[in-house]
Amino acid sequence: MAENTTAVSCDELVKEFSKGALVWYNFKSDCNILYLYNDKEDAAVKELLQQKGTVTLCSCIKLAEAKLEKNRYDYIVGIDIIEECQKPVELLKACHKMLKSSGRIVLGTENRYAIKYICGDRDPYTNHNFDGIENYRRMTAADRKDIGGRCYSMAELKAMLEEAGFHNDKFYSVMPSLEEAQLVYAQEYTPVEELAMRYFPLYNYPDSVFLEEQYLYTDLIKNGMFHKMANAYIIECSLDGTHDETLHATISLDRGNDNALVTSICEHDGVKNVYKKAVYPEGIEKLDIMQDNQDNLRSRGINVVESHVDGDVFIMPFVDAPIAMNELKEIAKRDLDEYLAAMDVMYELILNSSEHTDVISDKDKNSADGRDLGPILSKGYIDMMPLNCFYDKGQKNPKDRFIYYDQEFYWENCPAKAVMYRAITIIYDGTDKEFERIIPKEKLFERYGLNECSDMWIRMSSRFTEVLRNQKELRPYYEKKRTDGRILYTNREKVNYSTKEYQRIFIDIFDGFNIEEAGKEKKLILFGSGRFTERFLFQFGNDCPIYSIIDNNSSKWGTLMNGVPINSPDILYDIPEKERHIIICIKGYSGVVSQLKSMGIEDYHIYDPGNDYPNKRRQ
């Protein structure tokens, strides 16, 4: 049900991404728009604006000589024009004169205090880390002339607008960037869900990033720093004091023409509603399908948010209740039995969401290979997840506490366990370690009999996301824009050490160890018996005779790993310092370093799979 009917290429998808910065915005009908650009207009943005009204195009450089009519435009739109303008205040003053008395200027700007720059992304204009954060203080006057622009902070942007006569502004925080806007939040609104679940950062230079941005937002929100450190802004300034009514928008242009939607929360006269619009004509029928899905679930006794389709817009009221995913975690912290009872109810709702059938596709039958798939749903609503569900603990009937929404898709002849598996993994795909310690997800897999065919559930869920999000087609783009976990890990370790220390501990891990004389002069000992050790053994096991693996887990002592004995760290006391060569093969190595120092051992090395060691085998 998530398939795109038309084949699409990476380039075709990516060229549409720039629409995301504005596609959510509610332009008045039959309006006059002045589209300002730098060197060249963006074809996708131009196309979008032409669908909204009559568009005049002008480069910022030629604005003065263009002699455009004053008091003419309902909107003046520009992306990155403030950053690349030598005299931004003068540009803003000129725009002020060209707006009607009811007009608005809508600007897309970068934020020099963006969290992505804190995480290590380079400045888009200088190609250096932290230049914007330092307000470009290290740059000479000559340097400033050579770069194409600079970023500003929210305070600096507000000051410019005020000086130019724009006294009524509204800032919208944009994630991950203006080029690929996916999430937009008005300044008076902050996310209510955990962004680590649904946000995948994109960068100018991902190979310099050393922090996992998506896991920082929960604390930024709690400390009131979310908007100040937004990656970018859409700024709306009006002359009459009115503003767009959007509080939050989710944009999914990566889903292609058939499935791309804009979901907006808007507030009018104190009443909030949620609106879903198809970005392209091909997607309008999806709104009717979604309404049919909601109606079908309601007829099965499933509590769903009231909704209706009005023309080309899907509308439902804003529900002021916690997302089920968040509430379930809080319930688990208060009362584990209550949490398990709620999870039982959720599985019962999934089982009741459709008629059951004996029909199984040949593909699923072959994959199962005789294993029990459990109940098969005629229609498996794969988005019956606690992320697409509110939880109203005030409802007396436990089944009514789950209030579902956004049920866009279903799979025909779908195992109910596939839906439940996806629901559980969503709950646990976050940053709440306290919750995970209370009850690991493996306990729930066991409770609902999900382990036997877990390979199928993983594959089915991954396939759904891959197709819906065009991940295969967009892979070349994401490889350039997303971080590699191994590189990020290496970058972070470099920050913790001086250049000399890092070289000794992480790079020269075989320094002083003669492979040909191994076992005679020095004994190679690996600390840890997990994934990092597995990688080390794969890369070097054939070339480096290993005396022993040591681990703090006593249940592993006396066993073998790839033919190498695993022992207690206490064996280090029996080996003279000059005869031992220790390499730590653990990602979270800090505890082991402290342990070795407490044993009087200061000479050790740390293996980092991301480093390009000489003579290692490639995976």
pLDDT at 615 over 80: no
Residues 420 and 507 in one domain: no
Condensed to tens digits (0 to 9), the pLDDT of residues 418-441 reads 999 999 999 998 767 889 899 999
**Is 544 part of a structural domain of the chain?**
yes
**Is 59 part of a structural domain of the chain?**
yes
Condensed to tens digits (0 to 9), the pLDDT of residues 250-303 reads 999 999 999 999 999 999 999 999 999 999 999 999 999 999 999 999 999 999
Residues 206 and 75 in one domain: yes
Residues 365 and 231 in one domain: no
Q: What is the mean pLDDT of residues 469-497?
A: 93
Cα distance between residue 497 and residue 33, in whole Å: 53
Residue 619 makes CB contacts below 8 A (sequence gap 6+) with: 535, 538, 539
Residues 197 and 344 in one domain: no
The residue out of 445, 476, 507 marking a domain boundary is: 476
Confidence of residue 515 (pLDDT cuts 50, 70, 90): low
**Is 565 part of a structural domain of the chain?**
yes
Residues 510 and 414 in one domain: no
Instruction: State how far Cα 561 lies from the chain centre.
Output: 36
Confidence of residue 517 (pLDDT cuts 50, 70, 90): low
Residues 36 and 183 in one domain: yes
Nearest to 604 by CA among 588, 619, 617, 585: 585
Residues 469 and 349 in one domain: yes
Percent of the chain having pLDDT more than 70? 97
Q: Which three-class secondary structure state does DSSP give residue 53? A: strand
The residue out of 218, 244, 270 marking a domain boundary is: 244
- What pLDDT sits at residue 195? 86
Residues 131 and 232 in one domain: yes
Q: Count the domains in the chain.
A: 3
**Is 120 part of a structural domain of the chain?**
yes
Neighbours of 87 (CB within 10 A): 9
- What pLDDT sits at residue 618? 45
- What pLDDT sits at residue 617? 47
Residues 57 and 137 in one domain: yes
**CATH number (domain holding residue 108):** 3.40.50
Pinpoint the alpha helices (H) of 405-544: 416-428, 433-438, 441-447, 454-468, 471-481, 485-495, 499-502, 531-540
Confidence of residue 447 (pLDDT cuts 50, 70, 90): very high
Condensed to tens digits (0 to 9), the pLDDT of residues 309-363 reads 999 999 999 999 999 999 999 999 999 999 999 999 999 999 999 999 999 988 8
- What pLDDT sits at residue 5? 57
Residues 454 and 497 in one domain: no
Residues 87 and 222 in one domain: yes
Neighbours of 549 (CB within 10 A): 24
Top pLDDT among 33 and 86 is at: 33
Q: Supply the range of the domain harboring residue 546.
A: 486-606
Cα distance between residue 180 and residue 192, in whole Å: 22
Residues 417 and 552 in one domain: no
Strands lying side by side in the sheet with 376-380: 356-357, 376-380, 411-415
Cα distance between residue 155 and residue 214, in whole Å: 25
- What pLDDT sits at residue 272? 96
Cα distance between residue 542 and residue 163, in whole Å: 69
**Is 273 part of a structural domain of the chain?**
no
Q: What is the mean pLDDT of residues 470-487?
A: 94
Condensed to tens digits (0 to 9), the pLDDT of residues 94-143 reads 999 999 999 999 999 999 999 999 999 999 999 999 999 999 998 887 77
Q: What is the mean pLDDT of residues 494-500?
A: 90
Condensed to tens digits (0 to 9), the pLDDT of residues 557-609 reads 999 999 999 999 999 999 999 999 999 999 889 899 999 999 999 999 999 98
**Is 254 part of a structural domain of the chain?**
no
pTM check: above 0.85: yes
Question: Concatenated DSSP letters for 147-181?
Answer: SS---B-HHHHHHHHHHTT---EEEEEEES-STT-
**CATH number (domain holding residue 543):** 3.40.50.720
Cβ proximity of 152 and 112 under 8 Å: yes
The residue out of 219, 244, 269 marking a domain boundary is: 244
**Is 17 part of a structural domain of the chain?**
no
Strand bridging mode 376-380 / 411-415 = antiparallel
Indicate the average pLDDT of the chain: 93
pLDDT at 484 over 60: yes
**Is 19 part of a structural domain of the chain?**
no
Cβ proximity of 114 and 203 under 8 Å: no
